[in-house]
A and B are shown apart, each in its own frame.
Chain A
Amino acid sequence: MLEIKNVYKTFNAGTVNEKVALKDLNLTLEDGDFVTVIGGNGAGKSTMLNAVAGVWPVDMGKIIIDGQDVTRLSEHKRAKYIGRVFQDPMMGTAATMQIDENLALAARRGLARTLKTGITKKEHEEYYELLKTLDLGLENRMTSKVGLLSGGQRQAVTLLMATLKKPKLLLLDEHTAALDPKTAAKVLTLSEKIVEENHLTTLMITHNMKDAIKYGNRLIMMYEGHVIYDVRGEEKKNLQVSDLLKRFEQVSDGGFANDRMLLS
């Protein structure tokens, strides 16, 4: 479903702030893979997701989604294939627009925006039922501005938006990191439910090793811009946090002390 081939990305090339973010990154996702991504700060996790989403062009390499080379497609064109939820709850929704309007925008992802009405009556009813499944009472606040919602509620709505029009690929960029533990757990459970129900190919970044082991069928660890560990199936299920820490220690020797706290 997704192929990342020999992708390189360097920020601020040729300056003192030069930062090699992706270095010969290779990753292939099978249809229906739910992959959790872990790695220390600056390992290139978010950069990988942004490269796939097309936020900026990569320096080298190829990105292929469902057989189509999207390397040169702009961000909004790739959106046709990709659903995204960001770390910052503010980023995924339009705060000054209503909940139902946000959903209607997402329902038209990948379609031409015409002069037809922005949200139909029928859609409105569909969204009511859809919001009901969240169990947050949002179905009764559909005409409220999204800006009035809490971070967790916004992430839940963003999740719905990312998957309303079934994407070929779902990118979750630490989407629960800004939430309190209880809400984070709720949103994670919801994510898993949506992914399983729709059989979505998913990349989920997390800083929480337990979550990385608990969710999904496959786990990858990144370090210095490429994948250093890739495990799936039974082997992944039987992983322990200590195994991952050991792995990490092996590759990063000196740098590990700093990252240990972030990963625990």
Chain B
Amino acid sequence: MDFLTSLINSMPGAVAQGLIWGIMAIGVYITYRILDVADLTVDGSLGTGGAVCVVLVLNGVPVGVALLAATLVGMLAGLVTGLFHTACGIPAILAGILTQLALYSVNLRIMGTGTGGGKANLPISVDKYSLLVSARYVRALAANNPIIVLVIFCAILIGVLYWFFGTEMGCSLRATGANQHMARAQGINTNVTIVLGLMVSNGLVALAGGLLAQYQGFSDINMGRGAIVIGLAAVIIGEVIFSKIFRNFALKLLAAVIGAIIYYIVMNFVLRMGLSTDDLKLLTALVVAVFLTIPYWKGKYFTKTPVKKGGKDNA
């Protein structure tokens, strides 16, 4: 009974975290699914978003402006990866890793700005500053419950992205991910669209980072470690569950958000079952590996060929 109560008590927290990581997962969806690039920048840009947001709020900037700034700086990180890839010809994965590594230093610098030197961890108290979301109120039946704010955030973002990917520019981005030859033959500058996609993606990831830092009450240099894997997990879980029923683009983005929520609910569950937090990342990596393997093996070993069974069996 105790177990059940504590599990239910932990649900609002899992949902809130899931919503924040859902925004991050949408960013991953844009690169991984639409642009067909595995972008590892996100492990750094999530932390960048958190760092920028917390530092600005600590220095007296309104939280809305701080989040906007976090998003813009995240887009800048995407721009750097994009230029590494397109202008410098570095393979996309390596370009992302380079930016991610560079961002470690950048994030330390950001967190040291106006806060007295380089810091690996920067707390921000919801008592002293007016924050948009905080874990403290996650079980409160009030307007400041972070879940309400986050649902609104997700809804607006999905709406805006749905509109954007229906525009000429958005379509050219999708075409680039689908077939670069065709895109160029139709006059699309694929270098520009790739950079643009990486910017939009990392902007979203940094926004999620800014929200996450507020929610947990601190920004940490390691907060983005393994973010790409969590984002992928969310995207894949969403696809596995909803791919048959969610055909519309907006619903596909929603599936990624729900995937993130499910991920956090499951993680909460296994932690309460007694799994050590130390093993969490191992578990996440394995889950993603398994989910990526299944469709591959399905195609390779279990391709359904219409084989007619012997007459006797069917007679």
A residues touching B (Cβ–Cβ < 8 Å)? Answer: 53, 74-77, 79-80, 82, 84, 86, 90-97, 101, 104-106, 108-111, 113-119, 161
- Which residue of B174, B179, B188 contacts A76 across the interface (Cβ within 8 Å)? B188
Nearest A-chain residue to B166, judged by Cβ: A118
Q: How far is the CB of A14 from chain B (nearest CB, A)?
A: 20
- Which residue of B164, B174, B181 contacts A97 across the interface (Cβ within 8 Å)? B174
Q: Check: B185 CB closer than 8 A to any chain A CB.
A: yes
Nearest B-chain residue to A94, judged by Cβ: B178
Q: Check: B186 CB closer than 8 A to any chain A CB.
A: yes
Offer 11 A-B interface pairs, CB within 8 angstroms, sorted by A. Answer: A53-B185, A75-B185, A79-B184, A79-B186, A79-B187, A86-B181, A93-B179, A94-B182, A105-B172, A105-B183, A108-B168
Given contacts A76-B190, A94-B183, A117-B167, 8 further A-B contacts (CB under 8 A): A75-B184, A91-B181, A94-B178, A97-B175, A108-B186, A113-B168, A118-B166, A118-B167
Nearest A-chain residue to B190, judged by Cβ: A76
Nearest A-chain residue to B173, judged by Cβ: A113
- Interface size on B, as a range, is 20 to 34
Number of residue pairs spanning A and B whose beta carbons lie under 8 angstroms apart: 86
CA A104 – CA B187 in complex, angstroms?
13
Chain A positions within 8 Å of B181 at CB level: 86, 91-92
- Give the 10 A-B residue pairs with the shortest CB-CB distance, closest first: A79-B187, A94-B178, A118-B171, A113-B168, A109-B187, A113-B172, A96-B178, A113-B169, A75-B184, A76-B189
Contact B186 A109 (CB under 8 A): yes
Chain B positions within 8 Å of A75 at CB level: 184-185
CA A225 – CA B183 in complex, angstroms?
28
Chain A positions within 8 Å of B189 at CB level: 74, 76
Query: If the complex has contacts A94-B175, A97-B174, A97-B175, are A79 and B185 also in contact, measured as CB distance less than 8 A?
Result: yes
CA A75 – CA B181 in complex, angstroms?
10
Q: Check: B112 CB closer than 8 A to any chain A CB.
A: no
Contact B171 A92 (CB under 8 A): no
- Which residue of A74, A80, A93, A116 contacts B182 across the interface (Cβ within 8 Å)? A93
Contact B186 A117 (CB under 8 A): no
Q: Check: B226 CB closer than 8 A to any chain A CB.
A: no
Q: How far is the CB of A166 from chain B (nearest CB, A)?
A: 14
Chain B positions within 8 Å of A104 at CB level: 171
Chain B positions within 8 Å of A113 at CB level: 167-169, 171-172, 188
CA A116 – CA B163 in complex, angstroms?
10
Contact A92 B185 (CB under 8 A): yes
Contact B171 A101 (CB under 8 A): yes
- Which residue of B166, B171, B190 contacts A105 across the interface (Cβ within 8 Å)? B171
Q: Check: B118 CB closer than 8 A to any chain A CB.
A: no
CA A104 – CA B188 in complex, angstroms?
13
Chain B positions within 8 Å of A101 at CB level: 171, 174
Contact A92 B168 (CB under 8 A): no
CA A227 – CA B186 in complex, angstroms?
28
- Which residue of A76, A90, A114 contacts B187 across the interface (Cβ within 8 Å)? A76
Nearest A-chain residue to B176, judged by Cβ: A94
Contact B179 A117 (CB under 8 A): no
Chain B positions within 8 Å of A80 at CB level: 187
- Which residue of B168, B174, B179, B184 contacts A114 across the interface (Cβ within 8 Å)? B168
